[in-house]
Amino acid sequence: MAAYRVPSDARVVEAIEEALGRHPIVDSQEQLGELVGRVLQEEDEHYRVSGARVRRLAVQEGLVRVQVETGTTGEPPREACPVCDGEVDAVRNRTLTGGETVVGVRCSRCAYEAGARHEVPLRYGFVREENPP
């Protein structure tokens, strides 16, 4: 038998809701992943889920508000949001000469925003949404 099993997205979403019911504020992706993992293992001790998968599903389902602490790197900007894999849109500003310049990026799906220098998430915080969709 396999050392672990992967739960379905629907089961992970249920576990996220249950974990957030017990802990409405979570200070990190690692902590949220552990809380959800414990809920899943109450059902099947072989279930495993990564913190990144839990974060993406929680954001996609509208179960949480995400607070992102970022830091800058020398990497080029990403095409997709590092929080939810959604599309990022350029935030533009007019220059004094009438042109436009990109001053940052904003995710079209979640709360991620970054400045003109490429910023990556360093730490996530999660707050349960009161009225999820």
Residue 92 Cα distances to 3, 50, 89, 103, angstroms? 49, 35, 9, 6
Q: Which two tokens stand for residue 30?
A: 């690692």
| pLDDT profile of the chain (133 residues), mean per 10 | 86 97 95 97 94 94 90 76 88 89 85 78 91 69
> Running DSSP on this structure, what letter comes out for residue 100?
E
Question: In whole angstroms, what is the distance from residue 107 CA to residue 126 CA?
Answer: 17
pLDDT value of residue 133: 65
pLDDT at position 118: 73
